[in-house]
């Protein structure tokens, strides 16, 4: 095989794409697709009791937006149990929701905020799987309704930053909230966001080495017609509880709505996969949009440096990640504007040199 070739190996769950040579650290496996024709943008995702849960999300089920299609939000939930080997549906969230944040803890999947066509939510829920059913329990609600934010768990603390408060917002929220998951009586704390950093939405969160990371995102401002206009950002930040915020090296490109939280290698490198760089934001016709970048960027916290470490076999944005069975899972998401994907990919990362 050529040094930079790609080979596909048929496995029980689908295909594995193993990049060799310079890209030998990334091993992509295609898992069973979600049993929905379109797939979903920005569902919740995580693991509980050994099973993978994907819930909620949004798509255009009939026509694309430029054809007059209407976006639909969903309350359905799916479970992939290794013992079954296929997705099981028929479960429901309390209401339809998408574009929130989800993280996995020892007690299940925490689903934070999000919204639908008319409102955004303060709700914070925990989903747990008992082998037969999904159980839902409430956690303290957010200080304000919020969607399109990012978040991650550092130790026993959940951090959330950015987003927008309502669907028609033309400015982003300049927020940084934390919740002590070790304290059953804890409430959300409002903390200081990084000084001099524009408010934003659709950033990539990360957790590594006892610190919280925030990469890229989009700033909103009202355009001439009063509708929001995006500014694509490349800045990167790290919050360490004992030290506060520190600005890091800028990303090589914007990575708006890339899979979040960012996967982390055993050596502590944070990976930013695909995401929207804004290069084709005005692409016409919309139906021929080429998709988002397929490169994979790695941030080295020791060197405070970015580098290209490979590529992914898909274009994807507005999608969560979940760590399951020693791999990072990227379920569904937006393949290009107006188009979702029902594919479910997973990534195993070898140590990066």
Report the chain's terminal Cα–Cα distance, integer Å.
Answer: 22
Is the pTM of the predicted complex or chain greater than 0.85?
A: yes
Q: From first to last of its 353 residues, what are the pLDDT tens digits of the chain?
A: 333 332 322 233 444 444 433 444 899 999 999 999 999 999 999 999 999 999 999 999 999 999 999 999 999 999 999 988 899 999 999 999 999 999 999 999 999 999 999 999 999 999 999 999 999 999 999 999 999 999 999 999 999 999 999 999 999 999 999 999 999 999 999 999 999 999 999 999 999 999 999 999 999 999 999 999 999 999 999 999 999 999 999 999 999 999 999 999 999 999 999 999 999 998 888 889 999 999 999 999 999 999 999 999 999 999 999 999 999 999 999 999 999 999 999 999 987 76
Report residue 235 as tokens: 């800045």
Contacts with 224 (C-beta within 8 Å, 6 or more apart), sequence order? none
Compute CA distances 55 → 96, 99, 187, 278, whole Å.
9, 11, 25, 28
Cα→Cα distances 260→12, 68, 246, Å: 27, 30, 20
**Inter-residue contact 109 to 77 (CB < 8 Å):** no
Task: Count CB atoms within 10 A of the CB of residue 203.
Answer: 29
Which contiguous run of DSSP H or E holds residue 75? none
Q: What domains appear along the chain, each with residue ranges and CATH number?
A: 6-349 (2.120.10.80)
* Cross-strand pairs, 299: 270, 306
Cα–Cα distance measured from residue 142 to residue 188, given in angstroms and rounded to the nearest whole number: 7
Question: Nearest 5 degrees, angle CA 247-CA 271-CA 340?
Answer: 115
């Amino acid at each position: 095989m050529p040094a930079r070739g790609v080979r596909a190996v048929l496995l029980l769950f689908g295909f594995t794409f193993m990049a060799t040579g310079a890209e030998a650290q990334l091993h992509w496996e295609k898992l069973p697709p979600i049993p929905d024709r379109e797939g979903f943008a920005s569902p919740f995702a995580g693991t509980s009791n050994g099973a993978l849960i994907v819930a909620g999300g949004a798509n255009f089920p009939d026509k694309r937006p430029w054809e007059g299609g209407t976006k639909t939000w969903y309350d359905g939930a799916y479970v992939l149990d290794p013992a079954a080997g296929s997705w099981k549906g028929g479960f429901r969230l309390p209401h339809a929701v998408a574009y929130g944040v989800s993280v996995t803890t020892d007690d299940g999947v925490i689903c934070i905020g999000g919204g639908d066509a008319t409102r955004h939510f303060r709700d914070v829920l925990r989903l747990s799987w008992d082998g037969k059913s999904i159980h839902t329990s409430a956690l303290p609600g957010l200080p304000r309704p919020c969607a399109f934010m990012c978040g991650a768990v550092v130790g026993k603390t959940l951090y959330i930053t950015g987003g927008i408060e309502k669907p028609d917002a033309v400015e982003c929220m300049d927020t940084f909230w934390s919740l002590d998951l070790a304290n059953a009586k804890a409430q959300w704390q409002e903390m200081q966001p990084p000084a001099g950093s524009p408010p934003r939405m659709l950033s990539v969160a990360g957790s590594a080495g006892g610190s919280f990371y925030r990469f890229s995102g989009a700033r909103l401002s009202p355009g001439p017609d009063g509708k929001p206009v995006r500014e694509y950002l490349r800045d990167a930040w790290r919050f360490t509880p004992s030290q506060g915020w520190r600005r890091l090296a800028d990303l090589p490109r914007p990575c708006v709505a890339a899979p979040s939280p960012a996967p982390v290698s055993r050596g502590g490198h944070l990976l930013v996969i695909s995401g929207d760089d804004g290069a084709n934001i005005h692409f016409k016709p919309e139906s021929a949009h080429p998709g988002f970048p397929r490169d994979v960027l790695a941030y080295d916290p020791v060197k405070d440096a970015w580098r290209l470490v490979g590529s992914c076999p898909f274009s994807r944005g507005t999608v969560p990640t979940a760590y399951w069975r020693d791999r990072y899972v990227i379920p569904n998401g937006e393949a290009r504007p107006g188009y979702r994907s029902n594919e479910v990919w997973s990534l195993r990362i070898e140590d990066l040199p």
